[in-house]
Amino acid sequence: MGKYTIITFIKYFIKVIDMKPEQGEERREIRRANQARIARLIMEAGSISKGEIAARLGFSMPTTLQHIRELTEAGYVMESGEYGSTGGRKAKMLSIVGDMGFGAGMEITENYISYVLVNLKKQLIRKARIRLPFSRDFSYYESIGNWLQVFLEQTGVEQKKILGVGIALPGMVDPKEKLLIHSHVLHAEHVSFKRFESMVGYPCIVDSDAGGAAYMELSGENRDGVYLSLNDMVGGAVWMNHALYSGDDFRGAQFGHMRIEKNGRSCYCGSKGCLDAYCSTRALTGEDRSLEGFFGMVKKREPEYIRRWDEYLDSLAMGVVNLRCMFGCDVVLGGEVGAYLNDFRKDLDRKVMEYDRLDPDTSFLRIGKCLPESSACGVAVRFTDRFFDRL
């Protein structure tokens, strides 16, 4: 060991000895925070190289390698493959170990409960759906709690790895108070889920079904977006500055009650001309009540169904352009009707362009993944997204 190396080591040793306890704790906090940043980046990217991590977070390569080594030894990160060769050594792909933690989700509807379990990679591990009509009776909450326990036991996941349970509700929700403020679908007001949290023994969050689906579609993106949910009722959510925007008194994003026609069709809210009266599944299918049957007739070119679908697309295009004008960001279409829209994208684009004379480019309009479990998965991944906050 050279003279200067020995002197450097002695200086460092003396510095460590003289370090105050609070300085040591501060260093540890910085270390934990940096490791959490790396872990979250890997989780959002799905797979990423060490070099990309260093470049995107502004860390030196030695610092990055040290953090990754510690995360790997702790079981959070693993090598998941190699990138293609560029002439030198192939870069290793890093991924999160998915089974370190899980989030559970529930979606409550008028007649059914859907349960899901997702891992740290936001992958759907298991799902189940049972028929259970909504009720305000205490026995209803006991039932959904008991079914939740059965569902989680069937997954085979250790209880300590369940990070929490998210609950998606059809209506206006106060997440802080875990309160369903109002739901036209459930015909209920001021329903609290605080007691449910203590019943099931897991941390719980509540959100609207549209908020859950929007989170699943838009979280992790580095841009704002508006989500329009096309189900039995038209709902929505706003993703702004990496979070859902709820507005004053949680009244934001009620896009179903955006007026598109003066003195138009009657809406369940008591007004006329609301988007919901034109773009809900009820407005589209009428007495048929089956989207699959409706679109089957559209594909057969049945004149009445073609007319109804054309009117629907016209109203939807008007709503999309209004949202684009108000928010100036991407508009994502989801829900049950959204699952059919890819087949009619050109027709929708043409109508959007007819209404939007300011911008002929329709690339802002996106069709979401439209998974049946989007709302339940969206509230479940809230817990997995927070997993690395506790490193």
Taking a C-beta distance cutoff of 8 angstroms, is the pair 208, 335 a contact? no
Angle, helix 61-73 to helix 50-57, in steps of 10 degrees: 120
pLDDT at 326 over 90: yes
Position 135 scores a pLDDT of 94
Residue 278 reports pLDDT greater than 90: yes
Residue 4 CB neighbours (<10 A): 8
Look at residue 7 and tell me whether its pLDDT is greater than 90: no
**Cross-strand pairs, 189:** 182
The predicted pLDDT at position 8 comes to: 55
Q: Is the pLDDT of residue 272 over 80?
A: yes
The pLDDT value given to residue 229: 95
Per-residue pLDDT at 253: 87
Three-state SS for 381?
helix
- Model confidence pLDDT, tens digit, residues 91-143: 789 999 999 999 999 999 999 999 999 999 999 999 999 999 999 999 999 99
pLDDT of residue 324: 95
* pLDDT for the residue 14: 55
pLDDT bin (cut points 50, 70, 90) of residue 330 is very high
Query: Is residue 27's pLDDT more than 60?
Result: yes
Mean pLDDT of the chain: 90
157 pLDDT above the threshold of 90? yes
Nearest one of 267, 248, 247 to 256, comparing CA atoms: 267
pLDDT of residue 87: 56
DSSP notation for 172-222: EEETTTTEEEEETTTTEEEEE-HHHHHHHTS-EEEEEHHHHHHHHHHTT-S
pLDDT beyond 60 at 308: yes
What whole-number distance in Å separates Cα of residue 379 and Cα of residue 237? 14
Q: What is the pLDDT of residue 19?
A: 56
pLDDT at residue 216 above 70? yes
Are the beta carbons of 330 and 275 closer than 8 angstroms?
no
Strand, helix or coil for residue 91 = coil
Residue 84 confidence (pLDDT): 61
Alpha helices in 206-275 (DSSP H): 209-218
Q: What is the pLDDT of residue 91?
A: 77
Mean pLDDT of 160-177: 95
pLDDT at 302: 94
Amino acid at 319: G
Instruction: Report the percentage of the chain scoring pLDDT > 70.
Output: 92
